[in-house]
Structure 1
Amino acid sequence: MSLFRAPIDVTEELEKIRRKFLWGGNEEKNKIHWVSWEKVIASKDLGGLGVGSISALNIALLVKWWWRLKSESSSLWARAIIGLHNLKNKPADYLVKKKIT
Structure 2
Amino acid sequence: VLSTMPTFAMTVLRLPKKLLKEIDKTRRKFLWAQEEELSGGKCKVNWNTVCSTIENGGLGIQDLHRFGRALRLRWLWLSWV
TM-score w.r.t. length of structure 2: 0.71
Q: Which amino acid aligns with 2:58?
A: G
Q: 1:25 to 1:35 in 2, by over 3 A?
A: same
- Structure possessing the higher radius of gyration over alpha carbons: 1
- Structure 1 residue corresponding to 2:28, chosen from 16, 19, 26: 19
| Secondary structure of 2:14 counterpart | coil
Supply the distance in 1 between the matched residues of 2:17 and 2:50 (Cα, whole angstroms).
Answer: 20
The whole-number CA distance in structure 2 between the counterparts of 1:29 and 1:50 is 21
Say how many residue pairs are matched.
71
> How big is the shift at 1:29?
5.9
Q: How do 1:1-101 and structure 2 match up within 5 A?
A: 1-26=10-35, 28=37, 30=39, 32-71=42-81
Gaps of 5+ in 1: 72-101
Partners of 2:68 and 2:37 in 1: how far apart? 31
Q: Percent identity?
A: 34
Tell me the TM-score normalized by structure 1. Answer: 0.59
Gaps of 5+ in 2: 1-9
CA deviation vs aligned residue, 1:50-88 (integer Å, no higher than 9, x gap):
1121111101110111111221xxxxxxxxxxxxxxxxx
What do you get for the CA RMSD once the two structures are aligned?
Answer: 2.0
Deviation of the 1:27 alpha carbon: 5.8
Q: Distance in 2 between matches of 1:29 and 1:62?
A: 31
